[in-house]
Chains A and B, each alone.
Chain A
Amino acid sequence: MNFSKSFRNTFLVILLSLIVSACATKKTVTKVDGQMQGDVYTGTDTVKYLADGVPDRVFFATNESILTTKSRDTLRKQANWLRENSSINVVVEGHADERGTREYNLALGERRANAAKDYLITYGISADRISVISYGKERPVDSGSNPLSWSKNRRSVTVKAN
């Protein structure tokens, strides 16, 4: 009885740890090779600056328009800069990588550009100062056909409009 109970507990523990490790492997499959976290680009190769210390772009995971912690940080810097430069209007360009159908990617680019725009509005920038345009997969910055290139192309870029 005791034996079987402890056996059952052990069994449960093993089962639980298997489940936990299964989850863990699923999440830690994220490649961190210095330039990507998950499949979001974290490097600076293609990044330009609206002003000193204000990056112009944020990056997205495949098929996603969710802003990462780093993206939100970048957009807050953009918002601060826009507050200080109230005469400047911007266009937020939304882009997708080449691994999707053209029409869906146009919609996805628009969704990404609006995610960035909405965040800027949350930080006090008037919607009138921000327009959006989606280029879908039509304007890649990196022409390679590999995961790193694609991660650089999944982006929204804030560009001065005047």
Chain B
Amino acid sequence: MIRIINFFFTIFILLSAKAYSLIEIDITRGNLDPLPIAVSPLFQDDSSKKNSINELKIENVGSEISLVVENNLKISGLFNPLSKEAFLQKPDIAHLKPRFEDWALIKAQALITGKVSIEDKKLKVEFRLWDILAGREMMALAFTTVPSNWRRVGHIISDKVYERLTGEKGYFDTRIIYVSEEGPKTARVKKLAIMDQDGFNTKYLTLGNELVLTPRFNPTSQMVTYLSYFKNLPRVYLLDIETGTQEVVGDFPGMTFAPRFSPDGKKIIMSFAKDGNSDIYTMDLENRIVERITNHPSIDTSPSYSPDNQFITFNSDRSGYQQIYVMKSDGSNVKRISFGKGLYGTPVWSPRGDLIAFTKLHKGKFYIGVMRTDGSGERLLTENYYQEAPSWSPNGRVLIFYRETKSNDKGEGFSAKLWSIDLTGYNERQVQTETDASDPSWSSLLSN
């Protein structure tokens, strides 16, 4: 039984895990009691340690992978990884058959074990998930990949464990593209940057010679669309992050901005500003046909498609102030959906289809919130001095956004950082970045 995960990964299911399990996690409400889980270091035998050092400059890649898993599970807020110092059983023996009483003693409810080897420039990994209370195996998988992919192995294990215990897809084997920021507020240098979801493997995609803003992933490929002020002409660009090739999107006689891909990845939707008026346009990436979607003397911007490509939510001030609207994807049936107090911006349709996340400005405070697609059930998740631009995790459970701090009269004290929060309103935390950061966009799962 072999499933092709992607070009690099092959997963073999070692044993079927049909057994009914006692542990499961409800992620639909705030989890104040995270599941105690023991992540045993993956066992690496002495013979492959030398290969590990040669290939990766890491002595024990098994321990390192287990740390990746442990950190992912911890930042999800749903798990409480237990201290390895308390573990009684050695990794190799635990992987064969854990002594459940020993793990129960340290209050673990679930256990992850595994082993790794590096031979012939191949990293082989297998892992098992155990239900301690029921005393049985829940899942067992094996992978083969190139050694340099070892962090991704950790992310994939995390996704498999998350999925097995919550019943929903994970979001760990993903990347974040964002704008890296440096320098004083009046002369900020901005670069496109990309990193793994956990903050590792940061790469800078532009040099900072021109202003760049609002990068967004194509949900179906390794393409990115963003706004660049190259040659002082603000235009939407398309960038292939594998090859580094880029091109201007369309041939517009003015500023194009606020780009986003359609969920099928075939179109870019964006605003085009002409003579003081911004309207929404799409460009088909295959036949290059440009279509005008809105035609109104107000500002229409920040468009985002529903996951079925049938509807578009966008930001408009046609009522006098910034509000959120929904229309059919041909531009018909425009309906305002935000009616609460304050201004609303940056609507983004959830990948699950049922919610729209937004930024709200009310009485000098900024909020990240969600509402149903008809505008009902508004829920504000977090309040702050300044924050905006939420982007959904691919499973629709977490939002990432950026937050700025207030500066004093001299401009000191300013910072811009990425933050994430669960849809439940719990588990708000800063996402580590090498520099100041803004405009995050979350990729789809890399392997699936």
Residues of A near any B CB (own CB < 8 A): 63, 65, 98-104, 106-108, 110-111, 113-115, 118, 133-135, 138-146, 149
On whether A103 and B255 interact (CB within 8 A), knowing A143-B186, A145-B408, A146-B409, the answer reads no
What is the bound-complex CA distance between A104 and B347, given in angstroms?
12
Say yes or no: A144 contacts B407, CB within 8 Å. yes
Residue contacts A-B, CB under 8 angstroms, 10 given: A63-B322, A100-B361, A102-B388, A102-B389, A104-B299, A106-B255, A110-B255, A142-B186, A143-B184, A145-B406
Min C-beta distance of B372 to chain A, whole Å: 21
- Contact between chains at B213 and A144 (CB < 8 Å): no
Q: How far is the CA of A113 from the CA of B254 in the complex (A)?
A: 13
Min CB distance B391 to A, Å, is: 13
Residue contact B301 to A104, C-beta cutoff 8 Å: yes
CB-based contact A103/B214 at 8 Å = yes
Contact check, B361 vs A99: say whether CB atoms are below 8 A apart: yes
Across the interface, name the chain B residue whose C-beta is closest to A118. Answer: B276
Whether B186 pairs with A134 at a CB distance below 8 angstroms is no
Does B117 sit at the interface, judged by CB under 8 A?
A: no
Among residues of B, the one whose C-beta sits closest to the C-beta of A93 is B232
> A91 to nearest B CB, angstroms?
8
Are B407 and A104 touching (Cβ within 8 A)? Answer: no
**B: interface residue count bin:** 35 or more
Which of chain A's residues have a CB closer than 8 A to the CB of B285?
Answer: none
Question: Is A103 within 8 A of B410, CB to CB?
Answer: no
Contact, CB under 8 Å: B188 / A138: yes
Residue in B184, B278, B315, B364 whose Cβ sees the most chain A Cβ within 10 Å:
B278
A103-B315, A106-B258, A133-B232 known; 11 new pairs, CB 8 Å cut-off, are A99-B361, A103-B346, A106-B301, A107-B299, A113-B276, A138-B211, A142-B411, A143-B411, A143-B414, A145-B408, A146-B409
Binary per-residue interface labels of chain B (235-257) against chain A in the complex, 1 for a CB within 8 Å, 0 otherwise = 00000000000000000000101
CA distance A63 to B319 in the complex (A): 13
Inter-chain CA distance A98–B411, complex, in Å, is: 12
- The docked-state distance in angstroms from the alpha carbon of A119 to that of B52 is 69
| Chain B contacts for A140, CB-based, 8 A | 185-186
Asked whether any CB of chain A lies closer than 8 Å to the CB of B345, the reply is yes
Any A CB within 8 A of the CB of B375? no
Q: Check if B185 sits within 8 Å of A143, measured CB to CB.
A: yes
Give min CB distance, B393 to chain A, whole Å.
21
Most chain A Cβ neighbours within 10 Å, of B211, B214, B255, B257: B255
Our pick among A104, A111, A134 for the contact of B234 (Cβ within 8 Å) is: A134
B395 on interface, CB distance cutoff 8 Å: no
Instruction: Confirm or deny: B275 has a beta carbon within 8 angstroms of a beta carbon on chain A.
Output: yes
- A98/B258 in contact, CB under 8 A: no
Q: Which chain A residues border B439 with CB–CB below 8 Å? A: 102
Q: Are A104 and B315 in contact (CB under 8 A)?
A: yes
B186 touches A110 (CB 8 A): no
Q: Tell me, yes or no, whether B200 is within 8 Å of chain A by CB.
A: no
Q: How far is the CB of B132 from chain A (nearest CB, A)?
A: 47
- List which B392-438 residues lie within 8 A (CB) of chain A: 404, 406-411, 414, 438
